[in-house]
């Protein structure tokens, strides 16, 4: 999905990252949006797995996935990579069990 959208996103991505890194109000909005997405994801996964929404394991899994995507999209990158490649690398870290 990211590869398919990459051409449309990549021209704006750099500008958006710069705006987030330089604007405290924009950074706060990104955080608020992320928190809303985490809560919504926990609610959906809780319903599907039969766990309560405040289940620690559920929140850790959702937090790890969202944290990975947050770092890909908004993290302070010392090296610039292709956005789809960065998403694939983040998913690979999660898939192998968060080992380095």
pLDDT, one tens digit per residue, over 15-47 is 777 888 888 898 899 889 989 999 999 999 999
Q: How confident is the model at residue 80 (pLDDT cuts 50, 70, 90)?
A: low
Q: Which residues contact 29 (CB under 8 A, 6 or more apart)?
A: none
Q: Is 57 a residue whose pLDDT tops 80?
A: yes
Task: State the Cα–Cα distance between residues 64 and 73, nearest whole angstrom.
Answer: 14
pLDDT, one tens digit per residue, over 5-15 is 666 566 677 77
Q: How confident is the model at residue 77 (pLDDT cuts 50, 70, 90)?
A: low
Cβ neighbours, 10 Å, residue 90: 20
Helix (H), strand (E) at residue 86: helix 83-95
pLDDT value for 7: 61
């Amino acid at each position: 999905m990211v590869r398919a959208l990459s051409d449309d996103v990549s021209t704006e991505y750099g500008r958006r990252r710069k705006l987030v890194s330089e604007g405290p109000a924009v950074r706060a909005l990104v955080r608020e949006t992320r928190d809303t997405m985490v809560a919504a994801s926990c609610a959906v996964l809780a319903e599907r797995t039969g766990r309560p929404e405040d289940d620690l394991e559920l929140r850790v899994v959702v937090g790890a996935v969202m944290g990975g995507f947050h770092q890909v999209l908004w993290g302070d990158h010392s090296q610039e990579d292709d956005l789809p490649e960065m998403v694939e690398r983040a998913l690979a870290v999660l898939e192998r069990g968060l080992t380095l």
